[in-house]
Amino acid sequence: MDDIAKILSKALECDASDRILEAGTLYDKGLHHLKQLIAATKNTRIAKKYLEHMSQYKERSKNIQLSIKKLLEEGTVLQNISISQNSMGHSYESLFGQYLKSDIEEIYLEEPYLHRFYQYENLIVFFELAARKCPNLRFIKLITKRMENANILNDIRNDLRSRHIGLHTSIDEFLHDRKIALSNGVIIKIGRGLHFFKAARGEYALGQFDYDYRECLKTDVDIWTSAKTMGG
C-alpha cells in the first residue's frame, strides 16, 4: 500500500504542476496496483474505499487523455515545410530546433517504427537535441508499434534516467501516424516520422554525425501550435 500511496501522490504532484504525461503514466500505474489490491482483499469495507480511490484516479487519467487528444487535433499552423527527395540540411535541429525551448518539461512522441538499428540511432539524435535544448525536460512518453529490441530501449532509458529524464514506452499495435507534441503546445508532424534520412555516403564520410549532411527522403513537415499547452 505504501508504494501505491507514493505513486499516486507523485501523480497528483505532477498533475498539479502540469506535467500531465508523467501524471497520466503514474495514475495508470497506481490504478493497476489498486486493482490487484482489491482482488486480494477480503475486507469489503476496505475494498470499497479502494474502489472510490480508483474511480477518482480513473476520471483524472481519462481527462488527461482527452486533453492530449484535444491538443493533437486543434491548433494554428506555424510552418509547413516540404523536404524534397535527396535534399540536405534537414537535421532535426535545422527543422524544428527553434521550437525546443526551456519551458518544455514533457514530450509526447508517437513513432511506430523502432526496430532497425538506424531507427534507434535517429531516436538518440532526437533525444540528444531535446535534452540539449530543453534543460527542464523531465519526462518523455513514447508510443510505438512493436518493441523487438527492448534491451536497446532499456539502454536509452537508463541513460536518460541518469540525466533526470524519465522515458515511458508503450505499445499500440495499430499506430500509424507519427507526431511529436511538446508540453508548451507545439506539435510537429513529419510524414515519415523520425526516419527520413538516407545513410551517410559511406562509413567514413561527412554525415556520420551531423545529419545536416545527410540526403533526405521526400516528406512533409507540419508544425502547429495549440491554443492549449499540454497541461493547461
Query: Where does this chain bind a second copy (CB under 8 A)?
Result: 120-121, 124-125, 127-129, 131-132, 152, 155-156, 159-160, 162-163, 201-213
| Cα–Cα distance measured from residue 19 to residue 12, given in angstroms and rounded to the nearest whole number | 10
| Cα–Cα distance measured from residue 129 to residue 172, given in angstroms and rounded to the nearest whole number | 25
Q: How far out from the chain centre does Cα 212 lie?
A: 24
Least spacing, CB of residue 144 vs a second copy, in Å: 15
Minimum CB distance to a second copy smaller for 8 or for 160: 160
Least spacing, CB of residue 85 vs a second copy, in Å: 18
Minimum CB distance to a second copy smaller for 117 or for 174: 117
Cell of 81: 515545410
Minimum CB distance to a second copy smaller for 18 or for 121: 121
Least spacing, CB of residue 129 vs a second copy, in Å: 7
Minimum CB distance to a second copy smaller for 104 or for 152: 152
What is 196-228 written as a DSSP string? -BPPPSSTTSTTSS-GGGS-B--EEEEEEE-SS
**Residue the block writes with cell 492530449:** 68
Least spacing, CB of residue 47 vs a second copy, in Å: 44
Least spacing, CB of residue 75 vs a second copy, in Å: 30
Cell of 99: 521550437
**Residue the block writes with cell 535527396:** 86
Helix pair 117-133, 150-162: axis angle to 10 deg = 20
Minimum CB distance to a second copy smaller for 55 or for 86: 86
| Cα–Cα distance measured from residue 172 to residue 168, given in angstroms and rounded to the nearest whole number | 13
